[in-house]
Structure 1
Amino acid sequence: MLRPLLALAALGLAATPALAADGEQLFNMQCKMCHAGGPMGPSLVGVAGAKIAAKPGFNYSPALKAKEGTWTDANLDAFLKAPTQFAPGTRMMISVPSEESRQAVIAYLKTLK
């Protein structure tokens, strides 16, 4: 009974690099224009697991500055799904409606160190 579960777990681990690669493609098409570290949005290098709105050198909205916690998978997912619901008053207006796309982007963000 344990072997099928181990096989499924191994498949999940094997899919992670592919998921991150899909996320990189989505990021480059939809996010990179604003998140290249300029005035529009902060660089997202190291964002996964970091404190929310704490990257030096970027003027975050009061809405994000008021958020507590870190950019966990759940927080990144909620923010990407509906930025203005996650942090009412945020300047980010672009959402990622597809759960599959959000998971791919999050997997990619976790590779940015």
Structure 2
Amino acid sequence: MRSAIFALLLGLTATPALAADGAQLFNAQCKMCHQAATGPLAPTLADVAGAKIASKPGFNYSPALKAKSAQTWTDANLDAYLANPTGFAPGTRMMVKVAKPEDRQALIGYMKTLK
């Protein structure tokens, strides 16, 4: 039952409160590498939600993420990656995990606002 509720919540569009919580988490956990523009450490996350995996121009993605380039950054894929990057894409260079489901949900909601 809990997983069904969580899956339903992941499918919802970002609410302002959820995006605000996600912005705080993003600034605390992600912003040091993920900037407004793609940089040497990480790609920009603008328009990442719904985009093909490893598709941002100008960034040299790991072979692990390039191998998933036929897939899309759905809510479920973003959630799985944030929960365990090396489990989702063994060999990825991202090592930061987001343990709490509610934090991942907030981050995903925030990423949907990045344009």
Q: Would you tell me which structure has more helix in proportion to its own residues?
A: 1
Q: Tell me the TM-score range normalised by the shorter chain.
A: 0.7 to 0.9
Which residue in 2 is equivalent to 1:27? 26
Structure 2: 5+ residue stretches without partners: 1-11
Instruction: Work out the CA distance in 1 between the residues paired with 2:15 and 2:98.
Output: 19
Task: Classify the secondary structure of the residue corresponding to 1:54.
Answer: coil
> What is the CA-CA distance between 1:84 and the residue it aligns to?
0.2
Letter in 2 for 1:47: V
> Percent identity over the alignment?
73
Task: Classify the secondary structure of the residue corresponding to 2:45.
Answer: coil
Instruction: Work out the CA distance in 2 between the residues paired with 1:17 and 1:55.
Output: 26
- Aligned positions of 1:1-113 closer than 5 A: 16-36=15-35, 37-67=38-68, 68-113=70-115
Structure 1: 5+ residue stretches without partners: 1-11
Instruction: Work out the CA distance in 2 between the residues paired with 1:93 and 1:57.
Output: 21
**Count of aligned pairs:** 101
> What is the CA-CA distance between 1:16 and the residue it aligns to?
1.3
> What is the CA-CA distance between 1:29 and the residue it aligns to?
0.7
Letter in 2 for 1:22: D
Task: Classify the secondary structure of the residue corresponding to 2:15.
Answer: helix
Letter in 2 for 1:101: D
> What is the CA-CA distance between 1:59 and the residue it aligns to?
0.3
Structure 1 length-normalised TM: 0.86
Instruction: Work out the CA distance in 2 between the residues paired with 1:106 and 1:26.
Output: 11
